[in-house]
Amino acid sequence: MSEDSQNRTSPLRLDQFLKLTGLAETGGHAKLMIQGGEVSLNGELETRRRKQLTFGDVVEIAGASYSVDEFLPQ
């Protein structure tokens, strides 16, 4: 299975979402943002970088909200 094919069928994790959207430059940067308390998921502080995202989730950083729906495989 190619990496591209795997990405389309695998669930999206919070740290991956931050990299995919450009909110984090690297996985390490995403980890620091999440563990540093900068990221909320659906209005609640989220400190688990491997948290699986689902349809309808909203990630919030620095007062801005980002819908996960646009980035999850259909």
* Residue that wins the pLDDT comparison between 5 and 39: 39
The yes-or-no verdict on residue 9 having pLDDT over 60 is: no
pTM passes above 0.75: yes
Q: Find all residues with CB under 8 Å of 18, minimum gap 6, and list them.
A: 24, 29, 30, 33, 34, 39, 59, 61
Cα 68 off chain centre by: 8
Structure confidence by residue, pLDDT tens digits, 37-74: 999 999 999 999 999 999 999 999 999 999 999 887 76
Long-range contacts from 55-58, C-beta under 8 angstroms, 24+ separation: none
Q: What is the CATH number of domain 3-70?
A: 3.10.290.10
Q: Are 14 and 46 in contact (CB under 8 A)?
A: yes
What per-residue confidence (pLDDT) applies to 72?
74
Looking at residues 4-10, what average pLDDT do you find? Answer: 44
